[in-house]
Amino acid sequence: MQWFEYARPESVDEAVRLLSEHGEKARVLAGGTDVLVQLRGGFRSADWVVDIKAIPELNEIAWDDSSGLMIGAAVPCYRVYANEDVKKRYPGLVDAASLIGGTQIQGRASLGGNLCNAAPSADAVPAMIVLEATGRVVGPDGERTIAVEDFCAAPGKNVLKPGELLVSLHFPSPKPHSGAHYMRFIPRNEMDIAVAGAGVSVVLDNGNFASARVALASVAPAPLFVKEAGDALVGQPVNDESIQRAAEIAKQAAKPIDDMRGTTRYRKHLCEVLTRRALHIAVERARGNN
């Protein structure tokens, strides 16, 4: 690993100043579970590593009935899935946070880091997409909000501009009769990268789908929001036929590659299976959410 300078700012303004001063030569460290591995392996380089764990605002979790859920970009996964408000209201987010690495990794890794790393296989991103999450970003030119489905641009690349920092993630309050689920397929019963993953959310109304969202992992250059799959469910009865139709749309939207973890054909098949199964679980959760 190359030598680098280490900074531990204690405010958002200080972090933005450091990132602005050093530009492409600076890397943000939230948990370090991605960036330190990348630096050691030579996949990324940095003259400065800016550790954001000491910024109070980035370590907060807050729930409000009207504004919803806020999770700081540096909050580790174990705090997300252990939070009572998250467990009660966002089980689909718990699904994803509890799949990121093992127990040791979850003690450091964050949802914000998972998003900014922009891996196509990122488990948290499809769950955040279907829950309509947005990111609050602060930079030298001020503040802006980015929808999670627009955040990842390509493998390992996000839409942050030089000097910008993801501060927090925001989730709207769940609607009555809503449910969400994330599931993935891995080749072994141990920590591994998903061959494919599917996140879904639904809102039910008198036996019909009032709204739905579907997102996929590991089958495109970035986590994939399949808007047409969710739209196909709107107004349709909650039954196997409607769910199968949406799953087939998700399968067709997938753009996987052949690699050591699976073939294109296999991954597209998995998109259909995982989307169908996730929708059934989300529907059951929605029926229990009054």
Number of Cα atoms under 13 Å in the Cβ half of residue 260: 2
Q: What is the pLDDT of residue 45?
A: 85
pLDDT of residue 259: 86
Q: Are 159 and 118 spatial neighbours (Cβ–Cβ below 8 Å)? A: no
Q: Do 5-51 and 178-287 have matching folds? A: no
Superfamily of the domain at 178-287? CO dehydrogenase flavoprotein, C-terminal domain (3.30.390.50)
* Run means of pLDDT, 10 residues per run, the chain, 290 residues: 89 96 91 85 87 96 95 96 96 95 89 95 96 98 97 96 97 97 84 89 97 97 98 98 98 93 93 98 92
Q: Where are the domains of the chain?
A: 5-51, 56-171, 178-287
If DSSP codes are grouped into helix, strand and coil, which group holds residue 197?
strand
Q: Report residue 19 CA to chain centroid gap.
A: 23
- Whole-structure pTM value: 0.95
Q: Are 99 and 54 in contact (CB under 8 A)?
A: no
**CATH number 3.30.465.10 is the correct assignment for the domain at 5-51:** no
| Candidate CATH numbers 3.30.565.10, 3.40.50.300, 3.30.465.10, 3.40.50.1820; the one for domain 56-171 | 3.30.465.10
Give the position of tokens 């100043």: 17
Q: For residue 280, how many C-alpha atoms fall within 13 Å in the half-sphere facing its CB?
A: 10
Give me the pLDDT at residue 190, please.
Answer: 58
Taking a C-beta distance cutoff of 8 angstroms, is the pair 65, 23 a contact?
no
Residue 231 buriedness (CB in 10 A; 0-12 / 13-18 / 19+): middle
Q: What pLDDT score does 252 carry?
A: 98
